[in-house]
Structure 1
Amino acid sequence: MNTWSNAQAPVLAGFDMASTIVDQFDEPLLTALIVDDSRFDRARLKRLCLRSGMKVEVVEAATLAEMRAAMDKTEFDLVFLDYNLGLDTGLDALRLVLAHPDQEQAIPIMVTCIARHDVVVEAMRRGCADYLVKEELSEDQLRKSVTTAIERRVLLAALMDARTFRNSVERTITRFSRTCGPEMRAIISSMLRTLRSLQRQDAIDPVLRPELTMLERGAKDIVVFLDELVSLVDGALDEAHRSDDAGKNRN
């Protein structure tokens, strides 16, 4: 049986949360915003949402202005963004969603025509959770897209929690090793010198010698622990720097 660390536990919790959302899609109620300048397409997507089994409350917007007004009133779980919005595009709408202070939890999903693969790539790169192809829209395809988007969002949140937990532990250990650590080392070094001096005295009670030996062994173990702690922190920092450098090189 594999043992998961505390840093990995949030990831497992994220998978459990995703499963709960997927298995019980009618709880809690989802709020969705459909942004499309076509009344027919908005009605069709709304109808598919309701028929897909999702318990969802749908709000419609035909323009970016209507979209802003809707986002100012309601915190949405899902935002469907049609790419063609008259003089604007779905990427313009996506930028508004990501920048809105009340829509941090909103999951944007781009709606495109089948020929616009470039739009899909750009939308995903800029922060869309998934995409829908108008020509392929169906109840099953919609549900799958929404489920995948929610699972991905939950997983990313769990990974961020795990990373935050790890960074917090590293900061705590670093502060300890660089503040209390040197003082503890000085105190223990002084204790070791005193213990060794006492053990060299012939007048010391023989009954106390095993106790002194045990104290000395414990003090040495603490010194070893402090050394390992410093090595652990230095190794973690080096690994973090390497990961940052690798990320910069990929970009």
Structure 2
Amino acid sequence: MQQTSGRDVKQQSLSTCLVIDDDTFNRHMIKRCVGRARPNLRLYECATLTEARRFLDHDSADLILIDNRMPDGLGTEFAQELRSNSRMADSVICIVTGDDVRTLDSGIAALSKDRLSTQSIWYMVSRFLKEREILRTTEKAQRVTDFGNQLGESLSPGMGRMVRTLRMARARVARRDPQMAIDELDKLEEMLLAMSEVVSAGTVTPIAPEPLS
């Protein structure tokens, strides 16, 4: 494992890059392309997938560039392995290969070594980050919608109980039984406080119905 420094930086979001390639010349070429415009980028390199696994077991990288044909496996399969690791969820993973990129898994970003340049690498990174942001924004909106739906279903029984309690309190007042009315209103207050706690905590566990006195 070797570490080198990138030379001059424009972009801020990525701070580390791991280059995985069994060819020494290719590793240096890729590192030059990546680090040319990014001064503070920390660059690491591995010559095998086994070495990369050891590195990633105790460290991480914001950008991971992998040769497809490695002596101990395929880069595409290793990329899929990394994708399934929650620790790598924020990493940009890309295959850099001499093969026709159209023959590779379309779910993994890929760049051709024949057309590799600083511009092509960082354009790919920028596109990936934008797509990820759109995806996460969409997922967040869906989670909010789902939570609202679940919360509505969860609070529905409690709302029904509160309405019934309020009606009973009004009936007590009509029958000139103020103490019983106060008791019913106290019960209603407790229900409202419980509902407030449910909403604040984001809890959507259904409220169990209680027998009315």
TM-score where L is the length of structure 1: 0.58
Structure 1 residue 28: Cα displacement: 4.8
Unaligned runs of 5+ in 1: 1-23, 199-251
Task: Tell me how far apart the structure 1 counterparts of residues 43 and 151 of structure 2 sit (CA, whole Å).
Answer: 46
Kept in 1: contact 2:101–2:112 (CA 8 A): no
Task: Tell me how far apart the structure 2 counterparts of residues 155 and 54 of structure 1 sit (CA, whole Å).
Answer: 28
Instruction: Select which of 46, 56, 60 maps to 2:41.
Output: 56
Instruction: Select which of 65, 72, 95 maps to 1:110.
Output: 95
SS in 1 for 2:88: coil
Kept in 1: contact 2:15–2:41 (CA 8 A): yes
- 1:91-130 alignment runs, 5 A limit: 91-113=76-98, 115-121=100-106, 124=107, 128=108, 130=109
Q: Which residue of 1 aligns with 2:29?
A: 44
Task: Tell me how far apart the structure 2 counterparts of residues 56 and 155 of structure 1 sit (CA, whole Å).
Answer: 25
Task: Tell me how far apart the structure 2 counterparts of residues 99 and 42 of structure 1 sit (CA, whole Å).
Answer: 25
Kept in 2: contact 1:52–1:140 (CA 8 A): no
Structure 1 residue 114: Cα displacement: 5.2
Deviations 1:133-160 (A, max 9, x none): 1111111111101111122222222222
Deviations 1:139-193 (A, max 9, x none): 111110111112222222222222222222222222111x213213434666788
Residue 141 of structure 1 aligns with an amino acid whose one-letter code is S
Kept in 1: contact 2:21–2:66 (CA 8 A): yes
Unaligned runs of 5+ in 2: 1-8, 176-213
Instruction: Select which of 168, 175, 178 maps to 2:147.
Output: 168
SS in 2 for 1:96: helix
Q: How many residues align?
A: 167
Kept in 2: contact 1:26–1:54 (CA 8 A): no
Q: Which residue of 2 aligns with 1:81?
A: 66
Residue 74 of structure 1 aligns with an amino acid whose one-letter code is D
TM-score where L is the length of structure 2: 0.67
User: Taking structure 1 as reference, are residues 161 and 97 closer, same or farther at Cα in structure 2, changes over 3 Å only?
Assistant: same
Task: Tell me how far apart the structure 1 counterparts of residues 125 and 14 of structure 2 sit (CA, whole Å).
Answer: 14
Query: Does the alignment pair 1:159 with 2:138?
Result: yes
Kept in 1: contact 2:48–2:72 (CA 8 A): no
Residue 149 of structure 1 aligns with an amino acid whose one-letter code is F
User: Taking structure 1 as reference, are residues 29 and 146 closer, same or farther at Cα in structure 2, changes over 3 Å only?
Assistant: closer
Q: Which residue of 1 aligns with 2:75?
A: 90
User: Taking structure 1 as reference, are residues 158 and 83 closer, same or farther at Cα in structure 2, changes over 3 Å only?
Assistant: same
Task: Tell me how far apart the structure 1 counterparts of residues 139 and 96 of structure 2 sit (CA, whole Å).
Answer: 28
